[in-house]
Amino acid sequence: MGWAASDAEAPLAVPLFPAKLEGSGFLSATPVPAAWEPGTRLELSGPFGRGFDLPISTRRLALGALWDSAGHLLPLIDKALERQLAVTLYADCRLPSLPSAVEIYPLAALPEALTWADMLAVDLDRSMLPELRRNLGIETGSGLPCPIQALIRTPLPCAGMSECGACAVPGHKRWKLACTHGPVFDLRELEW
């Protein structure tokens, strides 16, 4: 979570997700407040919650940028390529320069990846959960063809400090808070 004391328009902390880690800093995936220009002094706290877990048994990784950017998935590419995994990115959004080892396909091809991949990592907004089965081509009531982890983008106003519930997503037995149980969830844990 980050905030700038000089930004009177953003009194609450903003969730920041690293798109690239380098040295003593990181490049943040969008969005960040427009008032935060290079040189703005930021106060940072965290990390909070749970991130992606790339199992050691994974050999073929599929990534699905279901929302407005692939930035939240970029750190997985570096980790996967370090381990010499096959990586395929499915997206319709504008993409940054990527290593040539990464195959890129449109989102419409994502359902075909589920039989190829050992794991799928997706980035989506909480409002997209009800349509996720249809978007992935998974029949209602059928199991998952491969493990799927999802970064659920949702407001995180209290950053887990007061369990306000604004970031809640539906779990099988109870609501789960993205600030503490996520924001990355194993889809088997969620009602969707």
Q: Determine the pLDDT at residue 1.
A: 87
Please name each of the domains of the chain with its CATH number.
60-189 (3.40.50)
Tokens at 41, concatenated:
């002094």
Q: Determine the pLDDT at residue 38.
A: 82
Count of residues for the chain? 192
Tokens at 185, concatenated:
């969830």
User: What is the pLDDT averaged over residues 161-186?
Assistant: 90
Percent of the chain clearing pLDDT 70 (strictly above): 100
| 121-147 residue pLDDT tens | 999 999 999 999 988 989 887 888 999
Secondary structure class of 89 (helix, strand, coil):
strand
pLDDT band at 89 (very low <50, low <70, confident <90, very high): very high
Q: Determine the pLDDT at residue 85.
A: 98
**Residue 26 in this model has a pLDDT that exceeds 90:** no
CB contact at 8 A, 166 and 153? no
How far does the chain reach from its first CA to its final CA, in angstroms? 27
How far, in Å, CA of 49 to CA of 26, rounded? 18
Task: Report the predicted TM-score, pTM, of the whole model to 2 decimal places.
Answer: 0.89
Among candidate residues 131, 127, 70, 132, the one with its CA nearest the CA of residue 102: 70
| 100-115 residue pLDDT tens | 999 999 999 999 999 9
